A and B are shown apart, each in its own frame.
Chain A
Amino acid sequence: MPGTPDCGADAAAYVLGALEPEEAELFRSHLDQCAVCRDEVESFGGVVQALPLAAHQYEPPRGLKRRVLQEVQREQAVAAREGVRRRRTWRGPRQLLAGGAAALVAAGGVVTAIELSAGVAATVVTAQVSGIAGSAQLRVTGGHGELVVRHLTPPKHGHVYEVWLQSGKAEPVPASVLFGVNSSGDADIGIPKSIHRGISKVMVTQEPLGGRPRPTTTPVIVARIGDLS
């Protein structure tokens, strides 16, 4: 019956990521009340975790490793330069982190935390989520942004979430990233474009599959970051 979880069959489709977004959300709510489905999800989940092993195994192309490590080195260098610049202005790491947080708060951003990740300070901004369930954070490290969403309502059938960057009152520009969420409503989304100074907001809207050049709906996620200097 539409709208009613089909215990057992839905569990298999759920762990495979094969439920429609609305079905997945309904099933997640159902899991709270159904021990049978929870057991099925745990049982089938182990099988799905093993499925990658069935793919034919190849060596990763050598250029791939080189590019990944080059990007890691680049981000370390950017973070080191920013750290040097800040050390000339502030007295030490605590003041450095506190200063960064103060700038964001003054700009209207809600800084949840300053964390150390990969040995450098990552600024974490709590995003506002409207019209859907879930939570979102924007983490910025060395000019690179990552959107972390948890328990987010999946996009409607035939739609996808699209990320936008906005400077002041200028038109939002596509961040060149579309995403959905896994069966738990979670996703970690790397933002390809640099979160440079002047970017005031990172936003997410729900768009038809393939995305759009301009937002067609009201943002469901807004992270206000102000000036990251």
Chain B
Amino acid sequence: MFSPRRNLKELADEDLMLLVRDGDARAFEVLFDRHGGPAFSLAYRMCGQRARAEDVVQEAFLSLWRAGGRYEPSRGSVRSWILSAVHNRAIDSFRREAVRPTRPLDEGNIVERLAAPELTDVEAERRADADRVRGALGELPEDQRQVIELSYYGGFTHQQIAEMLSLPPGTVKGRMRLGLGKMRISLGEAGVLP
């Protein structure tokens, strides 16, 4: 069945996944075009190295291609599924290497995603949401932001973070709770979360 690429771009993610399940590589390519940037951005933020980030994203998207038939909309959006796969594979890569990336990030000729003149409404809304999430995270007290970043982007457990920061047991978990609670309120008021 002929599926013009122009029409594919108009389909929602969930509809594209149905085509991917049936082996439509062009539908898969549209999904990559749509979500490859955020996926790579998360992987790069976590891995700190372009090559490792690329490997993580490649593994995540190939797992989507192979497992497309098992996607369930009730468990979340396609983007959430992809980003969750990226997050898990980045942490798996830390375990394989038994080391974490250190700062500063290796820039490696990566092209920054600049404001495009022809953003779709969906893309414009996502960019606005990204600004709000960065703002909410940036507004947190340093100690709360730090533990959230170390756990989510660094893959460290609360005990590891407590050792790294020389904090008493329980303090890290408490800061995580306070930080996520503040972000919950902030993002709810901003309309990013219901």
- Using a CB–CB cutoff of 8 Å, the interface residues on chain A facing chain B are 6, 8-13, 15-20, 43-44, 46-61, 63-65, 67-69, 71-73, 75-76, 115-120, 122, 139, 141, 144, 146, 148, 160, 177-180, 182, 187-190, 209-211
Contact yes or no, B23 A55, CB < 8 A = no
Contact of A43 with B184 at beta-carbon distance under 8 Å, contacts A18-B161, A118-B65, A179-B95 already known: yes
Q: Mark B103-133, 1 if CB is under 8 A from A, else 0.
A: 0000000111100000000000011011001
Assembly CA distance A167 to B171 (angstroms) = 49
Please tell me if B137 contacts chain A, counting CB pairs below 8 Å.
yes
Assembly CA distance A52 to B161 (angstroms) = 20
B192's contact among A50, A120, A141, A210, by CB below 8 Å, is which? A50
B95's contact among A52, A57, A144, A160, by CB below 8 Å, is which? A160
Contact yes or no, A17 B193, CB < 8 A = no
**A/B interface sample: 9 pairs, CB < 8 A:** A9-B173, A20-B157, A43-B184, A44-B181, A51-B152, A57-B130, A118-B68, A179-B92, A187-B88
Contact yes or no, B176 A9, CB < 8 A = yes
Please tell me if B91 contacts chain A, counting CB pairs below 8 Å.
yes
Known: A17-B91, A122-B66. 19 other contacts (CB 8 A): A9-B173, A12-B180, A47-B184, A53-B126, A55-B41, A55-B44, A55-B45, A56-B45, A57-B41, A59-B112, A65-B32, A72-B62, A118-B22, A118-B68, A122-B69, A139-B67, A148-B67, A180-B95, A190-B66
Q: Which residues of A contact B187 (CB under 8 A)?
A: 46-47, 50
Contact yes or no, B193 A58, CB < 8 A = no
- Using a CB–CB cutoff of 8 Å, the interface residues on chain B facing chain A are 20-25, 28-29, 32-33, 36-42, 44-45, 50, 54, 57-59, 61-63, 65-70, 76, 80, 83-88, 91-92, 95-98, 110-113, 126-127, 129-130, 133-134, 137, 148, 151-153, 155-159, 161, 170, 172-174, 176-177, 179-181, 183-184, 187, 192-194
List 5 A-B pairs, minimum CB-CB distance, nearest first: A119-B23, A210-B98, A55-B45, A18-B151, A12-B177
Assembly CA distance A144 to B193 (angstroms) = 38
**Least CB distance, B88 to chain A, in whole angstroms:** 6
Contact yes or no, A46 B193, CB < 8 A = yes
SS of B interface (majority): helix
Contact of A10 with B62 at beta-carbon distance under 8 Å, contacts A49-B76, A55-B41 already known: no
B76 — nearest CB in chain A belongs to which residue? A49
SS of A interface (majority): mixed
Contact yes or no, A58 B40, CB < 8 A = yes
Contact yes or no, B58 A55, CB < 8 A = no
Q: Which residues of B contact A6 (CB under 8 A)?
A: 170, 173
Contact yes or no, A178 B66, CB < 8 A = no
**Least CB distance, A83 to chain B, in whole angstroms:** 11
Assembly CA distance A205 to B133 (angstroms) = 39
Assembly CA distance A20 to B57 (angstroms) = 26
Q: Which residues of A contact B137 (CB under 8 A)?
A: 51, 54
Assembly CA distance A190 to B25 (angstroms) = 19
A50's contact among B88, B91, B193, by CB below 8 Å, is which? B193
Contact yes or no, A190 B40, CB < 8 A = no
Contact of A139 with B151 at beta-carbon distance under 8 Å, contacts A15-B180, A59-B111, A60-B40 already known: no
Contact yes or no, B25 A146, CB < 8 A = no
Contact yes or no, A53 B129, CB < 8 A = yes
Contact yes or no, B110 A61, CB < 8 A = yes
Assembly CA distance A52 to B87 (angstroms) = 9
Assembly CA distance A139 to B62 (angstroms) = 14
B107 — nearest CB in chain A belongs to which residue? A58
Contact yes or no, B96 A58, CB < 8 A = no
Assembly CA distance A205 to B29 (angstroms) = 36
**Least CB distance, A177 to chain B, in whole angstroms:** 7
B63's contact among A8, A54, A188, by CB below 8 Å, is which? A188
Contact yes or no, B63 A60, CB < 8 A = no
Q: Which residues of B contact A211 (CB under 8 A)?
A: 96
Contact yes or no, B113 A54, CB < 8 A = no
